[in-house]
Chains A and B, each alone.
Chain A
Amino acid sequence: MLVTHERSALRITTACARARKAGAIPGDALSDVRARVPALVVAHADPAGDLAALERLARRMRRWSPWVKPVTEGTVHGIALDITGVAHLFGDETGLVSDMTTTLTGAGLAGARIALAPGFAAAWALAVAGRSACIRVDSQRLVPALAPLPVEVLRLPPAIVRALRLAGLRTIGHVLAGPRAVLGHRFGALVGTRLDTLMGKVRDPLDPLPHRTRPHAVRRLLEPVSALEALQALAGDLAADLATRLQEAGLGARRLSLRLWRGGGVDLQIDAAASTPEADAGRLARLLCHRLEAGADRLDPGFGIEGGLLMACDPVRRAARQVDLDPDAAERAGAREAARNLADRLRARLGAERVRRPRLNDAWLPEDAEDGPGGTRPADIPALVQPCQMAPGRTRPTLVYRPPEPAEAVAEAPDGPPRLLRWRRQILTIVAADGPERLCPPWWRGHEPTRDYYRVETADGRRLWVFRAGMYGAPADTAVPQDLGAPPPPSGARWFVHGRFG
């Protein structure tokens, strides 16, 4: 059951069959219904989300007809399709309906009602109020099929519907039987218009959903080219065309897909990404050129590239930028912009996994406290001249080993710092130590042992960050650090060197 806040109360907007049977009527206050039926499952209605979902569904229904429109009347949602000239693609109308039913059932919409009629108004009336879930009516049988339907299917204003019912005209058949002149005089001209539309005497064209195409640019070459410089020039031309289209639409592209047409029907695809939505021809071209250069070894143009298609994969609306009149702020903004462009170029040339911008996470375990290799997440490089504030009390090394390196230690049980450490085939005597700082893995990773971290200094001045995974005397199977790449431990505690303090 769905409710919405209306007239100072939560009121029911939609109720399922069981709720209706239990006494929940749309329009009633939720508190009244709850008093009668306490075990109600209630959620807030989301009309905007419903409309968006209906539009998405309508776009997917383009597989049956390009002429599609979502329709909403009160709480009834539907999708109108103009199937003129498309039924034969599915055999006939029966095949079309069968395909539609199968697909909708597979998508979890088994309760959808389908009606085929000569006009949209008639199809809507049959789908909403028809006797069966799947109705197909031709123009000869239209009147008998529509006659028993209630007058609500005329989609008239509620006042007119009420007046019709008071006059005893409860079905379409009753209205059709009455004289048209009297109907128009008493209930208004709209009744006659709607009746004509319903019977297919007046055309009721659909205003379909506009087609959404991704911004793209296409270039065909007079002669095939294969040199890297020529391909870069082609990419530059495509980028210029695409940038013009993006700027006209006020969009920016974060991911680009360049498809180079090679003779023989095999295409080469090159993807590039930017950290912010871009619509500048020069930057788009540079990103593509770097990608082409980086993949030049693996790029096989065969007998030549005959043309290309450049597409913005996820165009987003670009936010307007405020120009800062403060020269210092403008300089900082310029530096941020330059830094973003630099990161994009490096990612394009070297690969996203080799260009990393460390980021702090609100986590205690070192592996979780920073992001892994950065991809092309939205770049929000913070103010570039402000020092970062670190939570007080945390001492962390500047350099860490990934993964931590196993070591052997002589230490006091149960939680003393190591006195002697064997690491990288060296025996290190520990002369100073801080700790332990106990870090526990999150409870949902219960198989991992707790870690006791120590800051230690060796006799020759090396400052290490070491930890003991597990406890002395604990069962060995619960103390195995699964993700640290260590051999199975002989006892319950294992030592690792995790970082260096310099």
Chain B
Amino acid sequence: MTTRPSGAALDQLRRAISTIEHRDSPCGRARVGGARFSTGHAPLDAALGGGGLPGGALVEVRAEGGRDTVGSVAVALGLGAQVLRARPGLGVWIHGRRAGDDGLPHAPGLAAAGIAPGRMLVVGPLAPDLLLWAAEECLMAGGVGALVLQPDIAPGLVAARRLLLAGERCGAPVLVLGDPRLAPLAPARVRLEVRTLPSRAPPWWADRRPAGWMMPVGAPRWQLQVGRRGAGAPHEMEVEWDHGTHRFRDGSGLAHRTPGLVVGSGQHGRAA
């Protein structure tokens, strides 16, 4: 007669096997020890799974509903900048042939976003097969702090799985910019859907609005839907980029030009 093991015993056994399987890889240590990279915004960290962006995992960043994809690129860069603050190594951006539609990285802009341009390696434009080869090579080589992948076509299941294994070995988060018109990346542990929002008005704008002046442009602001594999419905939040600290911060509140509203105030701005 055999006895069925209890659920707790099975969980313990699974954890032990996982530790043995991954004990030699940085990601194994990451899973056991919990290597996470904070984004500077506690609700976003919590939505990402507690502690921030997971190391050694695929993170898909997509534009919501096929809209303008530049917002997702900017969010991916912001997340990459957070990782590079905490982790030594290069920030590698590998892009396909269509990346020029969104624009290519600009050294002064990277510096303004808190990323030392000398720490960045921009690789491309590459055909899809070379792009995956380069990504895997980077992750297997070591010396990579964060990897941003901007492919023309979504990697297949096998390629994505290979990327995941290489990422686990390296310990760096792999940020894959997804095409909103295609199916989501299956092995991604975290998926962010990005929608660009209008920026908020500066606090002084409503009181001292000079006649005939246009409102100044505020900090970049996005709506994020953060979904985690096996964690239920995605969290929705609004964040904006803090140029002073080079981190994400709360961006909730109404934009400066929501029509027809008189009441309602955000953290810094006021509805017009």
Contacts and interface: CB of A to CB of B under 8 A. Distances in A.
Contacts of A385: 88
B216 A342 contact: no
A354 B92 CA distance: 13
Given A350-B126, A356-B122, A434-B217, A402 B104 contact: yes
A342 B104 contact: no
B109 A399 contact: yes
Interface in A73-91: none
Contact of B106 (A332, A389, A399): A399
A345 interface: yes
Contacts of B43: none
Given A366-B108, A399-B103, A499-B106, A343 B121 contact: yes
B214 A501 contact: no
Contact of B120 (A336, A349, A357): A357
Interface stretch (B72-80, B157-165, B180-188): B72-80
A406 interface: no
B73 A354 contact: no
B214 to A, nearest CB: 5
Contacts of A360: 107-108, 111, 117
Contact of B74 (A349, A358, A396, A501): A501
A357 B117 contact: yes
A382 B106 contact: no
Interface string A362-381: 00001001110000000011
A370 B88 contact: no
Interface stretch (A197-205, A456-464, A471-479): A456-464
B196 A359 contact: no
A398 B105 contact: yes
B117 A457 contact: no
Interface string B89-109: 110000000001011111111
A388 B117 contact: yes
Given A354-B124, A387-B114, A500-B70, A342 B217 contact: no
Interface residues of A, number: 63
Interface stretch (A98-106, A168-176, A258-266, A425-433): A425-433
A46 B117 CA distance: 40
B20 to A, nearest CB: 26
Interface in A220-265: none
A51 interface: no
A487 interface: no
B103 A387 contact: no
A303 interface: no
Contacts of B68: 460, 462
A50 interface: no
B73 A357 contact: no
A211 interface: no
Given A342-B141, A431-B214, A434-B217, A395 B117 contact: no
B107 A358 contact: yes
Nearest to A395: B112
Given A337-B143, A399-B73, A457 B106 contact: no
Given A397-B109, A456-B217, A500-B70, A342 B196 contact: no
Contact of A369 (B103, B108, B143): B108
Contacts of B141: 338, 341-342, 345
A432 B214 contact: yes
B108 A370 contact: yes
Contacts of A346: 121, 123, 134, 137-138
B54 to A, nearest CB: 20
Given A335-B143, A382-B116, A502 B125 contact: no
Interface string A444-465: 0000000000011101111100
Nearest to A401: B103
Interface in B41-68: 68
B149 interface: no
A463 B217 contact: yes
Interface string A91-130: 0000000000000000000000000000000000000000
B144 interface: yes
A209 interface: no
Contact of B214 (A337, A371, A417, A500): A417
B118 interface: yes
B253 interface: no
A10 to B, nearest CB: 44
Interface string A328-355: 0001101111110111011001100011
A417 B78 CA distance: 28
A390 interface: yes
Interface centre among B119, B125, B137 (most CB of A within 10 A): B119
B193 to A, nearest CB: 15
A399 B143 contact: no
A189 interface: no
A457 B218 CA distance: 9
A324 to B, nearest CB: 14
A322 interface: no
A394 interface: yes
Contacts of B144: 339, 342
B113 interface: yes
Contacts of B123: 346, 350, 354-356
B241 interface: yes
A360 B221 CA distance: 27
Contacts of A456: 217
Interface in B231-270: 241, 246, 256-257
B198 interface: yes
12 contacts: A335-B142, A336-B143, A338-B142, A341-B141, A381-B119, A387-B114, A396-B108, A434-B216, A460-B198, A499-B106, A502-B74, A502-B75
The 9 closest A-B pairs by CB, nearest first: A502-B74, A338-B143, A399-B103, A388-B116, A370-B107, A358-B107, A396-B108, A398-B109, A358-B117
